[in-house]
Amino acid sequence: MHILTAIPTQPIAISRNSAWLVAIILFVCIFWPEAVASAEETNQAAPSPDKVLYLTFDDGPSDYTQEILDLLARYDAKATFFVIGRAAASQPELIEIIFAAGHGLGNHTYNHPSLPSVSRERMVDEVAKTAAVLGDRDGGCLRPPYGARNAAVVKNTEQLGYQLALWTIDPRDWARPGARVIANHVITHAHPDGVVVMHDGGGNRAQTVAALRIILPALAKQGYRFAAMCRDGVAPPLQKQAPPPMPPSSAPILTTSAPSANKGSANASATDDVAVEEAPPAPLGVVSFTSPKAGATVRGVVAVTAVATHPTFRKWQLDLILDGGSDTFLALGEAPADEPTELVRWDTALYPDGEHQLRLRVVYEGMNYDEILLPVTVANQ
Ligand SMILES: [Zn+2]
């Protein structure tokens, strides 16, 4: 029986090796049937306690959330929803349904600003207002919009009593590359303790839902179990690992301009309901775009203007992160931009149309850097 099932799966089309292959297979099947049997077993279900994957959904709740919940239930899968406070406030019943179904709930701010560009007071307000909507269902995890963070954001997150919750697998479902592309990315990048970022809000998420229909059975077949984090004492797994690399950013739903820089704001006093640890303040830099505005549609030659400075400034670097995820160098500066400075006259016609992001980094002592991401749509055609 093992021989019949095993032979057709081997590469016997390579004719000069086929006799050897058949001989080896016969040998293995006759003298070591357990090996074949266990190999077959690993191709089938049986969730392993070691293969946990954390599916997370950002920017909801929305009209797509219930459909995602139904799909998750069908596969006995748990997930974590990083909700936008203002969306949650408008659909409190959906928040209740998510939590009652055993999923985790995380804080994704109230208005989805890029946190490195807002003041400490604004960040505290964004987090606190969302926490108020979630109440005791708030699992104590903060996912910064676009994954954008700098030293001040990380410090504020800790002071607010939250854990930073990022991701390890980003299929960029918000760019709507097709359900199969999204599903293939997740399936081929899945790893134990992996965290997948997808989106149940912020736009048309039909592709995300369709991708989930492929992902759930495919990874369940590989033995994955889908678990919730940020509830019942399950911390984001990244907290147990080395600091993650700066990830590409998340959904480009930010439509407001980048607000004023955050210089000195981490020293501001906290609101009454926030416990603040006494720690020497780290030197703060400022990295902020002034033009174009976040979410702008650009064409032709565009002046990119920004502030990029730090007490131990080394250089600034401007890159373009293309729709497909690749980084393209745009400009580099050896002098700090203490006030709004034109960094480059960017010829957008040299790049494909699409939803891209400008990324500005200010590199300082020790090759550390702060960065900001700015979503823009290039439309020359
Ligand atoms: Zn988001």
CA of 249 to the centre of ligand 1 (A): 9
Does 124 lie in the same domain as 219? yes
| Structural domain count, the chain | 3
Same structural domain, 325 and 360: yes
CATH number of the domain within which 355 lies? 2.60.40.10
Do 27 and 128 sit in the same domain of this protein?
no
Please tell me the predicted confidence (pLDDT) of residue 135: 96
Domain assignment of residue 174, yes or no: yes
Last residue of a domain, one of 207, 240, 273: 240
Question: For residue 223, is it within any domain?
Answer: yes
The predicted-structure confidence for 176-234, as pLDDT tens digits, reads as follows: 899 999 999 999 999 999 999 999 998 899 999 999 999 999 999 999 999 999 999 89
Same domain, yes or no: 143 and 66: yes
Please give the pLDDT value at position 310: 86
pLDDT, tens digit, 9 for 90 and up, residues 266-275: 333 333 333 3
DSSP H stretches of helix in 46-91: 65-74, 85-90
What is the 145 CA–ligand 1 centroid distance (Å)? 5
The CATH number of the domain where 61 resides is what?
A: 3.20.20.370
Q: How far apart are CA 319 and CA 184, in angstroms?
A: 27
- Give residue 285's pLDDT: 76
Both 303 and 361 in one domain: the answer is yes
Q: 276 lies in a domain?
A: no
Pair 125, 161 in one domain: yes
What pLDDT does 29 receive? 44
The 8-class DSSP code of residue 245 comes to P
Evaluate the CA torsion angle 127, 132, 137, 140 in order and state its sign.
positive
Ligand 1 centroid–CA 373 distance in Å is 13
Q: In angstroms, what is the span from residue 136 Cα to ligand 1's centroid?
A: 22
Residue list, CB under 5 A from ion ligand 1? 58-59, 145, 250-251
115 and 191 in a common domain: yes
Distance from C-alpha of 211 to C-alpha of 218, rounded to nearest angstrom: 11
**Same domain (yes/no): 294, 165:** no
pLDDT of 37: 39
Pairing of strands 354-364, 313-321: antiparallel
- In whole angstroms, what is the distance from residue 105 CA to residue 97 CA? 11
Q: Which two three-digit tokens encode residue 154? A: 């990380």
pLDDT reported for residue 47? 61
Could you say which of 240, 269, 294 is where a domain stops?
240
Q: Show the beta-strand stretches assigned E in 170-241.
A: 194-199, 225-226
Within a domain: residue 193?
A: yes
From CA 28, how far away is CA 121, in angstroms rounded? 67
Give me Rg for the CA atoms of the chain.
Answer: 24
Place of tokens 């997948």: 196
Are residues 160 and 207 located together in one domain of the fold?
Answer: yes
Contact 85, 60 (CB under 8 A): no
State the amino acid at position 221 in one-letter form: K
Residues 316, 293 within the same domain: yes
Gap between the Cα atoms of 333 and 322, Å rounded: 21
Ligand 1 centroid distance, CA of 84 (Å): 8
Parts of the chain with a pLDDT under 70:
1-49, 238-283, 324-325, 366-367
Domain interval for residue 56 = 52-240
Domain limit, last residue, from 206, 240, 274: 240
Secondary structure of 251-296 in the HEC alphabet?
Answer: CCCCCCCCCCCCCCHHHCCCCCCCCCCCCCCCCCCEEEEEECCCCC
C-alpha span between 166 and 353 (Å, rounded) = 28
Q: Which of 259, 248, 243 is nearest to 319 (CA)?
A: 248
If you count them, how many residues does the chain have?
Answer: 381
Which own/partner pairs from 326-334 qualify as long-range (CB within 8 Å, at least 24 positions apart)? 327/359, 330/304, 330/358, 331/304, 333/308
Distance from residue 225's CA to the centre of ligand 1 (Å):
25
Based on the fold, state whether residues 56 and 182 are members of the same structural domain.
yes
What is the whole-number distance in angstroms between the Cα of residue 123 and the centre of ligand 1?
15
d(CA 268, CA 194): 36
Within a domain: 269: no
Sheet holding 337-347, edge to edge: 286-291, 301-309, 337-347
Assigned token pair, 232: 């019942």
What confidence score (pLDDT) does residue 45 get? 54
Q: 262 lies in a domain? A: no
| 22-35 pLDDT per residue, tens | 555 444 444 444 44
Residues 131 and 231 in one domain: yes
**The predicted structure's pLDDT at residue 164:** 94
Strands 368-378 and 354-364: antiparallel
Residues serving a catalytic function are 58, 199
- Domain annotation covers residue 66: yes
Structural domain contains residue 272:
no
